[in-house]
Amino acid sequence: MVGGYKVITLCGSTRFKEAFMETQKRLTLEGNIVISVGLFGHSGDEEVWTEGTKEMLDDMHKRKIDMADEIFVINVGGYIGSSTRSEIEYARAAGKPVRFLEQ
């Protein structure tokens, strides 16, 4: 199980913090390097909403997608917001596979 790790970037609404944490743990134990969000703005990290921060974090997340082999979308209840939709389109345009928590 050592070596050749796939890099997966998690995408989705930060309101699903618990699902992010569970998915990160599961994918890591499956032998993947997991890149996640740094802050959960919709789950209490108020710093996200200071001037310029959300835009920086959105751009930074696209760089995380650049580093990944694929993305994994945390779409609890099928929910995909506009930021996540933009990230899915960005990943697909770069030829990256996109997997979903829920079909």
How many CB atoms neighbour CB 20 within 10 A?
24
Q: Model confidence over 23-75: pLDDT tens digits? A: 999 999 999 999 998 777 766 667 767 787 778 888 888 999 999 999 999 99
Query: Which residue has better confidence, 98 or 14?
Result: 98
CATH number, domain containing residue 96: 3.40.50.450
pTM, two decimal places = 0.88
Query: Is residue 77 in some structural domain?
Result: yes
Type and span of the H or E element at 84: helix 82-93
Q: At what angle do helices 53-67 and 82-93 cross, to 10 degrees?
A: 30
Query: Is residue 82 in some structural domain?
Result: yes
Domain count, the chain: 1
Averaged over 5-12, what is the pLDDT?
A: 96
Query: What pLDDT sits at residue 96?
Result: 98
Query: Is residue 1 in some structural domain?
Result: no
Q: Which domain range does residue 56 map to? A: 6-100
